[in-house]
Amino acid sequence: MDLPRRLGQLLVGLLLYGASLALLVRAGLGTSPWDVLHQGLSRTVGLSIGTWVVLLGAVLLLVWVPLRQRPGIGTVLNVLLVGTALDATLALLPAPSGWTPRVLLLLAGVGLNAVASATYIGAGLGPGPRDGLFLGVAALGLPVRRVRTAIEVTVLLVGIALGGTAGPGTLLYALAIGPLVQPLLPLLDLRRERVPAS
């Protein structure tokens, strides 16, 4: 598959991913575990949520070194673009005032996040810094599911302690994102050669 198409899909996926996180933040009903942490750091230390997405992504790339993980162009662009798109969307999107718009934003955020995840993963140009972390730890001989769960529960608890918003949206995200991404990924996976229909 040609590189320009894969790069284009990667960029679209990462920008939509950042926008989807902003929808979850604006809904105010809880975000993904990592974004609870980003939000908590923003409230406690300062700087924007998107800036913390970028900064923590860069720090995690340093953690990749002893884990012998290799970043791809998608990894680097993930660090640079997701937080930027999140902050840009937050700047354009006012906070809703009522339960119905908040719930709709939450549902739209989770749905868009699933599409965006399958889009950038399907480009096959490198995992995000957070995914690379749990893959690297799991490569030491630990079960992937347990490693991911342990990391996400840890960042969630730290985020809550710092003042990040966890809630029903956090639970919905945790339960829904995998089942939503799974059927989308084969449709958007540019890494596999497709046999033309005869």
The answer to whether position 146 is within a domain reads yes
The answer to whether position 194 is within a domain reads no
CA distance 140 to 126: 20
The answer to whether position 196 is within a domain reads no
Residue 49 sits in which domain range?
Answer: 3-188
Please, what sign has the CA dihedral across residues 51, 58, 89, 36? Answer: negative
Give pTM, 2 decimals: 0.89
Q: Do the Cβ atoms of 77 and 14 come closer than 8 Å?
A: yes
**pLDDT exceeds 90 at position 15:** yes
Mean pLDDT highest for which of 70-79, 102-111, 138-147?
A: 102-111
CA distance 29 to 68: 37
Mean pLDDT of the residues in the chain:
90
Residue type, position 78, single letter: N
**pLDDT exceeds 50 at position 197:** no
DSSP label of 94: P
For the stretch 123-152, pLDDT in tens is 989 888 988 887 788 788 888 778 888 888
How many domains does the chain divide into? 1
Q: Do the Cβ atoms of 29 and 167 come closer than 8 Å?
A: yes
Q: Do the Cβ atoms of 118 and 185 come closer than 8 Å?
A: yes
The answer to whether position 193 is within a domain reads no
The answer to whether position 197 is within a domain reads no
The answer to whether position 152 is within a domain reads yes
The answer to whether position 198 is within a domain reads no
User: How far, CA to CA in Å, does 191 sit from each of 122, 128, 186, 194?
Assistant: 7, 17, 10, 9
For the stretch 157-186, pLDDT in tens is 999 999 999 999 999 998 998 899 889 988
The answer to whether position 168 is within a domain reads yes
